[in-house]
Structure 1
Amino acid sequence: MKLLSWNIQWGRGMDGRVDLARTLRTIHRLGDFDVVCLQEVAVNFPGLPGGRGEDQVAELSAGLPGYTAIFGAATDVPDGHGGRSLFGNAVFSRLPVGQVWRHLLPWPAESAIPSMQRVLVEAVVSTDVGPLRVMTTHLEYYSQRQRQSQIDAIRRLHAEACAMSVRPPRIEEQGGPFEFFPRPARALLCGDMNFSAGAPERAQLLAPFSNGVPGFRDAWSVLHPGENHAPTVGIHPVGFVDQPECFDFVFVTEGLASRLTAHGIDAETDASDHQPVWVELA
């Protein structure tokens, strides 16, 4: 299975233009992916720089035929014209998709800094090695306190899913909203984490669990032990980092680490202020 994760900055490149056709060309150039996880996807949000209020989920879906589109809105606000403006993360899967969850992450009030609502999108996909939970998110940039709270929530949701993975289905639940679908313990978490590889938040996310819950491993470190993470932001001049850093990660549960065969980062494209990252599992 090949998975791509990329903060596309609503299709806005380093030239300031919003061009989703360019975003799609970049994705197709990089490989033939089974799952594509994108952060900063907008629907009817003309206030974003360079945007025209596009339905970006629809445009991306049209450019990814054969994929199931799953969108999770973190921001859902009135557009001032009787409609809604949405901003969040999307998963596109050409593998069969089971149950889907859209988890709003904690947003502690901090009046002195800007911040926004964040979301974790979770979907079960069927792979050659069985069902796998794919999760993608975009953590808060301006506040370490909020990132830490959001990581606590993600870890709690992972532990909850692992507990559900051993729950047997009940016959009387079939055919309705109570029907139980698989929520496996094996999982992959990716996205724009807005922390560097040396930050305490990474250690917090990778900390062991108790009660047999499988912990997360950093895919880069599994395949490149002892090497510094390749940067995913700041390769092209941006205003939010002083030097190139890795903000975009792929984490896998312990049982999947041995199946990792590749981890790539495209340092060439300037179609966003972040670089695409991808992994391959055998």
Structure 2
Amino acid sequence: MRVVSWNIHWGCGKDGRIRIHAIIDVLRRLNPDVVCLQEVAANHPELNGGATANQFKQLGGAFGGYHMMEHAPSELYKNNSPRLFGNLILSKYRISQVHRHLLPWPADPGNPAGMPRGLIEAVLDAPNGKLRLMTTHLEYYSPLQRMAQVQRIRELHAEASARSRIFQPDPNLDAPYQLGFRPASSILCGDFNFAPDAEDYQALLAPLDGGAPPFLDAWRVANGNVARAPTTGLHGYPWPERPECYDHFFVTDDLAPRVAAVEVQSETAASDHQPVVLDLK
């Protein structure tokens, strides 16, 4: 099972031009079973390069054999026309349920900039059984907001784990109640806007109450103490000031034996972030 996570920077390359086809070409070469994208835009002409198209539809159309799930926490309107910005999942595997979570956005007087953030959670019928796949893009400017979002993700994971332990199918219930099994085993990926030595990184990996399986950093599981490859700051982009790792894969501890590889695809300059690839046995 191969999963790719990538903040695509609305397809805007270093030259300020939008080339969604370049994003699509990279993804096709990587041949993923599941794709998790952040910073997908629709109807945002004011963004660098002019992101006027609906990129959710462009990407979904380019991968016609995949199931598409989108979540745009930032939904603004101009002349009653929606301008969307958010996350996208494409999956070859059958989807049994999807949950779209808005993450906390507490007021932070010290950091008034920012935008609503979200988490998409999908239950996949993967080759070795059901698992939850989650992708997100956390706040960049406000550490207070980012920590609140980390804590909410932990709460959502603990809730799903608790529900998995008491799940009992009941065919007599009306269809909306029959969501089916929501497993504790999960993959969490995305642009977290924190480095591996950050406080919020440590908070995400801390033990959970109630028997929920903890998250592990999949890079460390696969690569041990090998120096982490940067996921931003390459190819001459003006941001950030130096190469850094803000994009991560986390897995619940039960999936750790199945982590075969975690790699950063450093060669592409199609975005100001690099794609990260997780391979599970």
Q: Aligning the two structures, in what range does the TM-score lie when normalised by the shorter sequence?
A: over 0.9
Indicate the residue corresponding to 2:81 in structure 1.
Answer: 83
Indicate the residue corresponding to 1:171 in structure 2.
Answer: 171
Indicate the residue corresponding to 1:110 in structure 2.
Answer: 108
Assess if the C-alpha contact under 8 Å between 2:114 and 2:139 holds in 1: yes
Displacement after TM superposition at 1:227 (Å):
2.3
Assess if the C-alpha contact under 8 Å between 1:44 and 1:53 holds in 2: yes
1:34-53 superposed matches below 5 A:
34-53=33-52
* 2:274 pairs with 1:275: yes
Query: Which amino acid in structure 1 is aligned with residue 116 of structure 2?
Result: Q
Aligned-residue Cα RMSD (Å) equals 1.1
Unaligned runs of 5+ in 1: none
Displacement after TM superposition at 1:250 (Å):
0.3
**Matches of 2:39 and 2:96, distance apart in 1:** 24
Indicate the residue corresponding to 2:96 in structure 1.
Answer: 98
Assess if the C-alpha contact under 8 Å between 2:41 and 2:51 holds in 1: no
| More moved, 208-217 vs 86-95 | 208-217
Indicate the residue corresponding to 1:260 in structure 2.
Answer: 259
SS of match in other structure, 2:98: strand
1:172-251 superposed matches below 5 A:
172-174=172-174, 176-251=175-250
SS of match in other structure, 2:10: helix
Displacement after TM superposition at 1:197 (Å):
1.2
Unaligned runs of 5+ in 2: none
The share of aligned pairs that are identical, in percent, is 45
SS of match in other structure, 1:90: strand
Q: Give the TM-score normalised by the residue count of structure 1.
A: 0.96
**Matches of 1:226 and 1:248, distance apart in 2:** 17
**Matches of 1:109 and 1:153, distance apart in 2:** 16
**Matches of 1:11 and 1:48, distance apart in 2:** 11
Aligned pair count?
A: 279
**Matches of 2:126 and 2:280, distance apart in 1:** 10
**Matches of 1:124 and 1:260, distance apart in 2:** 19
Q: 1:239 to 1:145 in 2, by over 3 A?
A: farther
Displacement after TM superposition at 1:52 (Å):
4.0
Indicate the residue corresponding to 2:67 in structure 1.
Answer: 68
Q: Deviations for 1:139-196, whole angstroms, at most 9, x for unmatched residues?
A: 000111111000000000000000111221223224x212232210000000000011
Task: List structure 1 segments (4+ residues) > 6 angstroms apart after TM superposition.
Answer: none
Q: Give the TM-score normalised by the residue count of structure 2.
A: 0.96
